[in-house]
Structures are given as C-alpha cells and as structure tokens.
A and B are shown apart, each in its own frame.
Chain A
Amino acid sequence: MNIPAETALLLSGILFFIGLIGLLVRRNIIFMLMSIEIMLNAAGLAFIVSGSKWIQPDGQVMFLFILAVAAAEVSVGLALIIRVFNRFKTLDADELSSLKG
C-alpha cells in the first residue's frame, strides 16, 4: 500500500470542512451536534494517519481518547437537548439567544 500521506490528510481535511459547513449552516441543534461528531471523527482520522506515518501506536491511543471524549460529550449534550426541547418547545438554535447583548 502506497498511499501518500497527503492524500489521507486531505481526506481528513475534507471531512472536517464538510462538518464545519454543516455546523455553520444548520439551525437544528441535533444537526449541529452531528456535524461536531463528523469533525471529531475527521480529527481522529488525522491522528491515525500520522500514527501510521511514524509507525507508532500513539496515534491510535489518541484516537481512543478522542472516542471516549466524544462519547461523554454526546451523552451530556443530548441530555441538554432534551431539556432545551422541554423548555423551549423548539430545537431552533437561533431561539436560544437570551444571552444577547
């Protein structure tokens, strides 16, 4: 297998930027959370690529930690989304602007 490292990193970059666009465009909080997951995944991919380049397991270890963090964050985030939905009866992120000004 002879993949240039740039290509793999390019893949990671493209996925990251798609996630970024999704974060900026969507108003639904759930979709924003999904976009964050995409971005986390892309960052993890970059780690794996670099671990493979240097032939060290450290990249994979980093990805494990990212995974743990993503799991914790998703669970807490979803719980918060449930509370937001119960309170505001909407999932529009633009409605949650009482910290304005």
Chain B
Amino acid sequence: MFNLLWLVPALPFTGFIILALLGKKLGKKLSAVVGVGSVGLSAFITIIIGIAFLSSPHLENYFVITLWEWFNAAGFNPSISFHLDSLSLVFIFVITFVGFLIHLYSAEFMYDDEGYSRFFAYMNLFVGSMLTLVLADNLLLLYLGWEGVGLCSYLLIGFWYKEPGNVSAAHKAFIVTRIGDTAMAIGLFLLLISFNTLNIQSILSLAPQQWELGSSTAVAAAFLLLGGALGKSAQLPLQTWLPDAMAGPSPVSALIHAATMVTAGVYLIARTNVLFTLAPLVLNIVAVIGAVTLLIAGFSALTQYDIKRVLAYSTISQIGYMFLALGVGAWSAAIFHFMIHAFFKALLFLAAGAVILAVHHEHNMFKMGGLRKELPVTFITFLIGAASLAALPLVTAGFYSKDAILWFAFSSSTNGSLVLWAAGLIGAFVTAIYTFRMLFITFYGDLRTQVSHRPGVLIKLPLIILAVFSLLGGFIELPHTLGNVTIFSDFINQTLPAVEINEGLNELLLQIIAAVLALTGIFIAYSLYLKKPVPTAEEYKHNALQKYLYSGWGFDWLYDKLFIKPFVTLSKINKNDFFDWIYTAIAWFNALMNHILLGSQNGKLRWYAMGIAAGAVLTLSIIIFL
C-alpha cells in the first residue's frame, strides 16, 4: 500500500502537464475535471495510505520510497525519494484534502474567467510542489519543492496579470521570499559541508554527535534555515509581502497563503528540530519572533477595511502562534494548530471569496452589510470559522489548539515564560476583536450592496465540510483539564520530541483567563460594531495611530528607505555602467583609431603619391642606415 506513495505528488504534476499542454483544447468542463480530479485522487490515496499507516504495526516509525538517483557528483548523491512518517502524513493529509476542497470551490468560482485551465494548471503544479516539499527525504528535494511553491505563488498572485498592481504584488512576494530562500540555500551549503549529505534523517542523527550544544556552526546553520522559514511564512522581518499577495483570486489566498505554503516554514523547523535544539539561541529567537509578529499583525488587522487583508494579517498572526509554539519546544502543539488553522482559515478565505463574488468583486467591508439574510450558508460557515479563529471556548477546534500553545508558552522548560504567555494572550484578545469586527461589519446592519451571484453547490459544499472540521477537529487533542485526549500528540511524538514542562503550574487558571479574554473581545467588537451603526466607507477615516497600524507598522516605508532607495540611487549612479566601460573602451578606441586613420584616405591622388614617396624614403633610410 505504501508503494502508492509516489502517486500522491505525481498525480497533481501529471494534471499540471496535461493542463499546460492541452488546456485550451480541453475546454472548461474537462479542465476542471482534470484539475480537481488529480488532487482528488491524491487525497483519496492519501487517506488510504493514512489508514494503512495508522493501523499497521511497524518497527520503525517511517517509510521511505526511493524513485531514482538524482545525480552523483563528488560523492554527493541525492535521490528522488519520499519519506512518510507521522509529521509528513499530517501535512499531506491537510494539503490534499483542503486542496481538493479548494479546487472544487474554484471550479465554480473561476468559471467565468478566461484563464480557467491555466488556473488549474498552476494550482496543480503548486499542490505537486508542496507535496514534494513535505515528502522530501533530503533537503535538496525539499528545496526543489520550496522553489516550486515560490514560483507558483508568484504565478498565482499575478494571475490576473493585466492589472499592473497584481504584477507588482507578485514581484514583491517573490523577491521578499527570495531573500529567505537565499539564506536557506547558504544554510544548505553549510550543512552539506559539515555532513557531506543532505539526507534529513542522516543529518538529524549525525548532528548531535558532530556539533556541541550551542556551537557556532549549529547556530549559523539553524539561523540560516530560520531565514528561509521566515521568508516563506511571512514572519518578521519578511512579512511585508503577504497582505499585498491578496491581489490573487480567493482560492489562491485560501490554499497558498493560508493553509499550505505559508506553513512550509513551520514544517521546515519542525522537520529539522534537532538542529534547532542544538542551537538554543536560535530557538529563543524563533519564539520571540513568533510572539512579536503575532502582536504586530493582530494590531494591524484591527484597522483594515479590505476583508481579505484582515484575513491576511490574521494569517501572519496565527503563524506567529505556530512559531511561538516551535520556539518553546511544543512541536506537536504547533503542528496541531497548523492543521486546525488550515481548516478554519481556508474556510474563512473561501467564505470571504463567496461574499466578494456575491457583491460584484467588492472588497471593502464598509460597502457590504446585512448579508446574513442574503447568504445564509455563507454566513453560518463564516461564523463558525470566525469563532474557531477567535478561539471561542469549548465548542470550536481553534480553542483547543490555541489553548495548547498558550499553556506551553507559559510552562515549557525550554524558553517558556510569562512574557511569551502574556504576548499570546494579548494576541488572542486582539484576534477576537478584529475577527468579530469583520463579521459584524460584513454580515450585520443594512444591506449596502445588492447581491448578484449567489453561491452554488460547488462553493457551498467545501464551506460546509470545512466548517464541520473547524468544529470537530479539535476533539482529537484535549488538555488534561478537559478530558486528556492525546491522540494527536501521541501520533506526532512518534517523530518529533515531546515537550517538557515545568511542574506545578495551574493549567485550569490559564485556560479560564484565556476563555474570558476571548469572550471579552467578542463583546467589545459587538459593542463597537453591532450596537452602534457602522460608518460608511466614505466616513471611515483613520486617525494617525490607525494609519500607522494600517500600514503594517510602517515596515513597507522602512524597507523603502533602508533598501530600495539606496539601491535605486546606486543603480542610477551606475547607469553608464562603469564596469562595462572597460569593454566599450576597446570599441571606443577602435573607433578613435579608425577616425584618425580615416584622415589619410582622402581620395586625392597626389596625397597617395606623396605616401608612396614617403614610404620609399623611409624604406631606403632603414636599409641604408640600419
């Protein structure tokens, strides 16, 4: 059964090739069948493999299938091989399952678009690359998938390429993540030099033997890998690209920028956890970055008026939670939050997409309103997603995952502290406020825009399925105080180390504080945006603080001043390309010589006769006197 593992990434790649070559000829219905079907088949095979993996007793906790040797150069021979263990199983389940639902959704969502088959081709390529990334056995294949998802992100953000704004957003995403990718590549070089192999399992077993705890190579390697993770996952300082990436279609935002690609960084750190535990400084930095990012993004989301940008900042914030969990060594909590976040964030993006489609592609929330009567299914699913995001106590899956993180942020023996817990708590509070602000402004109040396109079954079905998972998904991992179900963490702890906590701390108290704060946040949003009338789009103006928060705490301005302006100035100075002058100097010199020698060819007979005579004088004098 496990031998079918290679089909999981191969099917979407095949779908991509078919659609890329024959897309125009196939027509819309057939393109949709190929596009959705390939991912659907992948999902089906994943479920079968998952069942087999969970039920069969195995000696080792993983399974490797090698397809072929990639190359062999100076003793370094990576191979195309896929590695299945509990971590990668969770990831491929999320990618294929949520991916399948999103593909189904986009079959209806993108139906009127003329680039229909191109869209599915890119989406299939993306799913294939992402699966390669998480199934890769060695870091080189992982990097291949890494680059592939970066490429597809660029292609899909700029999908409607005729708008220059979309193309700029795509460029920004690609360039900012490229900075991270370069750091990661240097990290890979460092690892290759140190261990002479990039096979992940080999590195993870060799590293503790070869590097001491806290040695500088370990810190350097971990730091560089962290750089790559920061780029892809849009954390500080490389978080500026994600809000602008909302220029792409809503299914793209759902799949790439909520559920899967942005979590590639989380996967990388979880996968190479041994390297990070060997460099405690870097692990500390991971936790701090996670905490700071979640606060920055949360506060920025309070002032947005584009519904997708709220969700974008929310994504940055939630991934900050995952990084926070990774930083305190709560590996399984991070992965659990990843899975639950994928469900409810994809749900929120898809529902937001349905809303945008219904109001003629209008993104401004203040121009919507009162949609809960018009779009009931969308409203209920959106509500469930929002509740899960805000971690509504006890009923939603988001509560359990976020609660686990907060508990470990406080109690973990690696880096757990009051400060980190307080940051996460404030973040949860702010999350509740902006989430329900978004809900109330969009769905309550007076109807400001007429609804034109009501969603069909292909849109509603994924929404409903994701909503169910957002509610019930949490029940596989319940904390001590509420039932102590540890199915998920046991599963993950087959591959990743378990978190160690300081004894004697009161978990119930922290849970009650978190629950109270979440409810308070919802109440504040209610009193600000439901009881009072919502301002119209023209009336809604930012004061100075709100402007600062709106711009993402001024990071774009900062990077513009720090990096872009000097670079452009230097380019302008070098406009005449000083280094090229060395080569043009040769041509210029030739032209000069030509000009000089041209003076001797003036077409006059006497001049040439003079030349002959002078030559005769010269030759004779050389013969006589030398």
Do A and B share a direct contact in the complex (Cβ within 8 angstroms)? yes
Interface residues of chain A, those whose CB is within 8 Å of chain B, are 20, 23-25, 27, 32, 93-94, 96-101
Mark interface residues in B34-73 (1 if CB within 8 Å of A CB, else 0): 0000000000000000000000000000000000000000
Nearest neighbor of A17 in chain B, beta-carbon distance = B613
User: Which B residues lie within 8 Å of A98 (CB)?
Assistant: 603
Asked whether, in the complex, the Cβ of A32 is within 8 Å of the Cβ of B605, the reply is: yes
User: Which B residues lie within 8 Å of A20 (CB)?
Assistant: 613
Asked whether, in the complex, the Cβ of A24 is within 8 Å of the Cβ of B603, the reply is: no
Name the one of B601, B603, B604, B606 contacting A23, with C-beta atoms under 8 angstroms. B606
Asked whether, in the complex, the Cβ of B606 is within 8 Å of the Cβ of A97, the reply is: no
User: Which B residues lie within 8 Å of A24 (CB)?
Assistant: 606, 609-610, 613
User: Which A residues lie within 8 Å of B610 (CB)?
Assistant: 24
Closest 10 CB pairs of A and B: A97-B603, A100-B603, A99-B603, A93-B605, A97-B604, A94-B604, A100-B602, A23-B609, A24-B610, A101-B598
Nearest neighbor of A97 in chain B, beta-carbon distance = B603
Question: In the complex, what's the smallest C-beta–C-beta distance from A96 to chain B, in angstroms?
Answer: 7
Interface residues of chain B, those whose CB is within 8 Å of chain A, are 598, 601-606, 609-610, 613
A-B contact count (CB 8 A): 32
Asked whether, in the complex, the Cβ of A101 is within 8 Å of the Cβ of B605, the reply is: no
Question: In the complex, what's the smallest C-beta–C-beta distance from A17 to chain B, in angstroms?
Answer: 10
User: Which B residues lie within 8 Å of A94 (CB)?
Assistant: 604, 606
Name the one of B598, B601, B605, B609 contacting A96, with C-beta atoms under 8 angstroms. B605
Q: Within the assembled complex, what's the spacing in Å between the Cα atoms of A98 and B603?
A: 6
Q: Within the assembled complex, what's the spacing in Å between the Cα atoms of A64 and B118?
A: 91
Name the one of B601, B606, B609 contacting A101, with C-beta atoms under 8 angstroms. B601
Nearest neighbor of B602 in chain A, beta-carbon distance = A100
Task: Given A20-B613, A24-B613, decide whether A93 and B601 contact each other with a Cβ distance below 8 A.
Answer: no
Nearest neighbor of A25 in chain B, beta-carbon distance = B606
Q: Within the assembled complex, what's the spacing in Å between the Cα atoms of A96 and B605?
A: 8
6 contacts between A and B (CB under 8 A): A24-B609, A27-B606, A32-B605, A94-B606, A99-B603, A101-B602
Question: In the complex, what's the smallest C-beta–C-beta distance from A30 to chain B, in angstroms?
Answer: 13
Question: In the complex, what's the smallest C-beta–C-beta distance from B55 to chain A, in angstroms?
Answer: 91
Asked whether, in the complex, the Cβ of B606 is within 8 Å of the Cβ of A93, the reply is: yes
User: Which A residues lie within 8 Å of B604 (CB)?
Assistant: 93-94, 96-97
Question: In the complex, what's the smallest C-beta–C-beta distance from B459 to chain A, in angstroms?
Answer: 76
Question: In the complex, what's the smallest C-beta–C-beta distance from B609 to chain A, in angstroms?
Answer: 5
Question: In the complex, what's the smallest C-beta–C-beta distance from B600 to chain A, in angstroms?
Answer: 10
Q: Within the assembled complex, what's the spacing in Å between the Cα atoms of A32 and B598?
A: 25
Question: In the complex, what's the smallest C-beta–C-beta distance from A7 to chain B, in angstroms?
Answer: 21
User: Which A residues lie within 8 Å of B605 (CB)?
Assistant: 32, 93, 96
User: Which A residues lie within 8 Å of B598 (CB)?
Assistant: 101
Nearest neighbor of A35 in chain B, beta-carbon distance = B609
Q: Within the assembled complex, what's the spacing in Å between the Cα atoms of A100 and B604?
A: 8
Nearest neighbor of B599 in chain A, beta-carbon distance = A101
